[in-house]
Chain A
C-alpha cells in the first residue's frame, strides 16, 4: 500500500474491481428480484383488495367527492403542518447570549424540539426540561423545577435560563412565576438571576405564539426599567440605531442580510433576538454551548433605539405592543420584506424613521435583481402555485409571486387566523394574478392534498412535509419555510431584501426549468432557456 493510504484523508476512494465488491445503493438494493418476490409475498397478510379496487379508491380519493368529505373532517388532524408553543419559545431563547432554553414539563416534548430544530438547522440544539414524571403530575412540578434549574446551572453555566411550559405543566396548573421565586428562596437560583418565563400551552396557539411569548418575557425582564418618557436623541451616537425583530425565522441568512442592508444606509442594528450565530456556528473545532445570541446588555439598551423593525408580524404581536406601549418606541409595521416592493417599503420606512437616505449601492443592487427578474419572468408568469407555511412567510412570498406574475392558487396556513385571512385576501385581490386564489387556515397537509389533486398546480412551495403530495400530484416542490429537513443549506441563505428576492427567484425558476427539461420531448430539450 502506498503512503497515501496511511494518511487516510488523502487516500481517495476504493477501486471496486468488479461487481462482486460493489455495494448497491440503497435505492437500488431492494429492487433486486429476491426482495421484490419477498415483498409480493407479504400481500397475503394484508387482506388486500384487488389492484383494480385499490386504483379505483385511490382515484376516488383524488376527486371532488372525497375533497368535500375531507373538508368535512372535524375531530382528527392528518399530517399536521404546525409545531407547538414551547418549540417557538426555545427558538426565541436561542436568540440571546448565554441563554439556556428550559422547558417546564415532561422530558419528551423537549427531546422532540431539539431534534426538530436540529434537523432543520443542522446544528446541535441545547435545551433541557424539568423531566416531570407521575409524581409531578400528582404533586405539581415545583420540586422538579427547583431541582432542574439548579442542575442546569451547575451543568451548563448559563447567564440566563428562559423557561417555557409544556401542555402537561399547564394542565396541572403549575405557577412557574411562583416556582422561580421558590427556587430563589431555596438557593437553587441566586437572587436576581435572570429567569424569564412564559406560559406556552400548545392546546392554544402555535410555535409562533410561543416564540412571541418568550420574546416578550425576555424583553420585559431585561428592560423593566425602560420608560416611555425616556428621550431618544437620534443624533446621540454617530449613527442611528434600530432594533430588528426577526420573529420565528427559519433562515439564519436573514439576520445577516438585514444588518448588511441597513449598514449601507448608515443604520446600526440590534437584533432581538439573534439566533443566527447560535444555529449556524463555524466548524472551528470548538463545540460551544452558546455560540451566539444578542448580548444581554444590548437588549437592555434596546429601548434607546430610534425605532423597532419587525420582520414578522404574527410571531411578534405582544412584543411589538411592549415596545410601543412600554418603551414608547415607534414600531415600523411593514409587510415582511420579501420581494421587491416589500423591501422597498421596508427601506423607505427605515430611512424615514432614522433620517437616512438609501444609497446608490442599494439602488444598484435593486436594479440588478430587477434585471434578473426580467430574465426569468417568462418561465414564472402564469404558473399556478400552491403555497403552505407560516403566516408572515406566506404573505411575503405571495407578494413576491404576484410581482412575478405567478398565480397563487391554494394558500394554506395552518396557524393562520382572521387577521391573516384578511391580509392575504387584500393582497391577492389587489392583483389580477391573485383573483382565483383560495385561502385556507387551520387546515392540514391532507387537505392540501385534496386541493392540489382536484385543482392542479404547476408548483408547490412549502416545507419538506409536502414532498409526498408533490410526488403524487407530479409537480415539483420548492422547499420553503419550516421545517426543511431534506434539502441542505437553504436556511443559510437570506430570503429577505433584494438578495433574498434573488435567492427565491433562483430556486423557483430553476425548479421550473428542471421540470421543463424533465418533461421535455427530445426535440424540446433546448440548451438555452
Chain B
C-alpha cells in the first residue's frame, strides 16, 4: 500500500484486489440505478440546500466535449444553469450549447416522448455530435416518459450512441447525481469500443473535470512519466475515449467521493485497480504520481517517479519560498461542503497558510481521519456549514481568509472576510506543482488587497464605534448551499 506514511502526509488509498464495491461506509448511497437507499441522506425541507441529482449528473457528464447534451424537461432546468460550469475543452465546444426540449403544457398533458424523439433526431442530424446524452428531469420522470426506449430507437435511426442519463432531480442530491452519471457511463458507454492500441501505462482519471484547465496542468507530468491517460472522466474528454475506459491498467479517482463507485465497478467488472488521490498541493501531487507506480506495480516507473518528484519538489519549493514567507501566520477557514476538504487542506498548507477549520458536511469517516491527520487531533471540523457558524468560526479562530464555493462569496464579503473561490466558478488552475504556486500567488494577492482594510474600518466620523463584524445573531442558517 502506498502512502501510509506520517500522519502529516496526504495518503493515497489503493483499492484492494477484492474491490471496494461497497466503498465502505464511505458512500452515502450505493451505485445502483436508484439513489434511494435508507442510508442516503435526504435534504431537509425548508432548509436551504444544494443542487439536485440532475445537476450532479450534468456536472459529471457535460464536460464531454463532443457530445450534445440534451436536457429533457421544462425550460428552466437548463435555462437557469447553462454556461456556468467551468469545465474547459481543448477542442469541440459543442458541450457548451444548451439543448433542451423545453416541455410545454401540451407535453405535460400528452407526454413528452414525441417531442423528445424529434429533439434527439434534430440535434443528432443538425450538430452531428459523437453522441447525444439525454438528461432526465423531474417532470418527464413524473409523467413516465420512456426515455430509455426513445434513446434506443433514436440511436438506431441516427447511427450514433444516444445515452439516457436517468437522474431526475428528485432522486436525490448532487452527489447522488454524480454517481448516477457514472452509472450511465458504465451501463451504456464503457466497454462499447476498444482502443486502437494499449500500453502498460494506460490509466483513467475519474472525477477530474478540467476546471479552469487543471487537467491540462497535470498532463505534462504524466507524459514525462510515460503514463498515458486513456480516458478522462470527464474533463476535456471526447466520447470515444470513454468507450474504452475498461482497458485501462489503473484508475485514479481524483478527490470525488461520488465516483468511487464507478472506479469500484470498473474493478469488479473489468479488473481495473484503482486508487484515490488528489492533485491539489505538492505532497498530494507527489503521492498521486507514486500511486500510479504503485497500482501499476512497475518498479521502474516507481524509480522514474521518484526522480521526477524530487526534481519537481525542489523546483516548486524555490518558487513557493517567497510566498510561504509572506503567508506564514495567515489563518484560513475552508468550507467546500466537504467533498474536496482533505485535498484542499493539504494544498492550502503547502502554501504556508494555516488551516484552522474545515467543512466535513459531505465527508466520509475516512476523509475525516485524513483531515485529522493533516490538521491534528483538535482540528475544528464544520459539520453544518451555515453562514452564521462559518463566520463565527472565522472570527473565533482569527482567520482572515475563507476558502469556499462561489455561493459563499457574497456572504464572506458581507462578513468582511477575504474570500478564495475553490469551486467551479474560479478562473485559476490550482492542480499539480505549478498549481500550488498559482494558489499561493492568488491567496497572497487576495490578502494584500487594501480593500479589506477599508471594509473593516468604520467611517471616520464613526471612529471609536466598535465594528460589529460577524456578530449578528440574525444571520441565517444553512443558506450557503
Contacts and interface: CB of A to CB of B under 8 A. Distances in A.
B217 to A, nearest CB: 8
A166 interface: yes
Interface in B460-481: 467-472, 474-479, 481
A388 to B, nearest CB: 14
Interface stretch (A145-153, A269-277, A353-361): A145-153
A74 B391 CA distance: 50
B271 interface: no
Nearest to B78: A80
A77 B91 contact: no
Contacts of B270: none
A477 B298 CA distance: 55
A113 B81 CA distance: 9
A9 B142 contact: no
Interface stretch (A39-47, A238-246, A503-511, A519-527): A39-47
Nearest to A131: B43
A465 interface: yes
Contact of B80 (A38, A107, A113, A144): A113
Interface in A71-116: 73-80, 82-87, 102, 105-116
B448 A107 contact: no
A285 B104 contact: no
Nearest to B327: A8
A77 B99 CA distance: 6
B44 interface: yes
B312 interface: no
Count class of interface residues, chain B: 35 or more
Nearest to B173: A107
Contact of B115 (A75, A172, A281): A75
Contact of B46 (A46, A85, A86, A150): A150
A488 interface: no
Contacts, number: 321
Contacts of B223: 38
Interface stretch (A27-35, A211-219, A399-407): A27-35
Contacts of B21: none
Given A112-B51, A145-B45, A204-B105, A465 B92 contact: no
A156 B477 contact: yes
A38 to B, nearest CB: 6
B82 A5 contact: no
Interface in B62-106: 66, 70, 73-84, 90-92, 96-105
A111 B46 contact: no
A295 to B, nearest CB: 17
B372 interface: no
Contacts of A468: 96
Contacts of A29: 213, 217, 429
B47 A151 contact: yes
Contacts of B50: 107, 111
Nearest to A119: B84
A283 B455 contact: yes
A131 B411 contact: no
A373 interface: no
Given A42-B90, A285-B470, 10 more contacts: A13-B448, A21-B319, A26-B212, A38-B223, A86-B76, A108-B169, A111-B481, A151-B44, A171-B139, A288-B472
Which 7 A/B pairs are nearest by Cβ-Cβ distance?
A: A108-B52, A84-B76, A151-B46, A148-B46, A148-B45, A39-B90, A75-B118
